[in-house]
Amino acid sequence: GTYRNQLKTNFRSGQAVTNYAQIATRRGSTSFSTSFSRDTDRGILPLLDGFKRQNLRLNLDQGLGDKADMSANLTYGLSTSDQTPNTQAGSGSTFFTLLQSPPDVDLVYPNGPGTTKYSPAIPADAAGGTSRGNPLYDLANRAYNDRRQRIIGSFSARYRPWNWLSVDGSYGTDRLDQR
């Protein structure tokens, strides 16, 4: 049979892209800024979409005469990932299982052309044994979807009645929704 390097055969080139845009302005005693960023990292594992994140941020600063000012900030973030829980290094990871896969088995069609694609069963006569099964089976058939939404907001105000006295107040919130 054909011997193959399972890592080289089944990994793909990783690709990461970051996009960022910002608009900011200042008019008199008011400053406003908004920004948007988008990050994608598809990773090197086949059959997965990888990690995606989008952030939107709004900032407003307002002077209220010579003695007072206020600021408000709001950030919304959304991230999704379909990376398997055990993609980290270790003996149970997809990386280690691919490394230990028999070199004479095509993991896409392990039982030969025309058979079940990504079959969990590897032929019994495969070089090096079949105790680990097909690592591509989990990637093709299980859904690992992590979705996180986060909202971070803050408001602050400052009043300076005299040069030696300042009264400050602030409020912030951080909410995380993870599924």
pLDDT 10s digits, 79-103? 999 877 654 445 567 888 888 888 8
Identify the top-confidence range among 25-34, 112-121, 126-135. Answer: 25-34
CB 151 within 8 Å of CB 162? no
The Cα–Cα gap between 67 and 162 comes to 8
What CA–CA distances, in Å, run from 107 to 6, 15, 110, 117, 154? 8, 23, 5, 8, 51
- Say how many residues make up the chain: 179
Question: Which amino acid is residue 31, in one-letter code?
Answer: S
With bands split at pLDDT 50, 70 and 90, how would you rate the model's confidence at 69?
A: very high
Average predicted confidence (pLDDT) for the chain = 88
With bands split at pLDDT 50, 70 and 90, how would you rate the model's confidence at 53?
A: very high
For 142-158, the pLDDT digits (tens) are 878 889 999 999 999 99
What CA–CA distances, in Å, run from 31 to 16, 60, 161? 33, 6, 23
CB 34 within 8 Å of CB 70? no
pLDDT of residue 41: 93
With bands split at pLDDT 50, 70 and 90, how would you rate the model's confidence at 29?
A: very high
Among 55, 57, 53, 56, residue whose Cα is nearest residue 80: 53
The Cα–Cα gap between 59 and 74 comes to 7
Q: What six digits make up the tokens of 25?
A: 């302005």
pTM score over 0.85: no
**Helix locations, 12-130, DSSP H:** 94-99
With a pLDDT cut of 90, the percent of the chain lying above it is 49
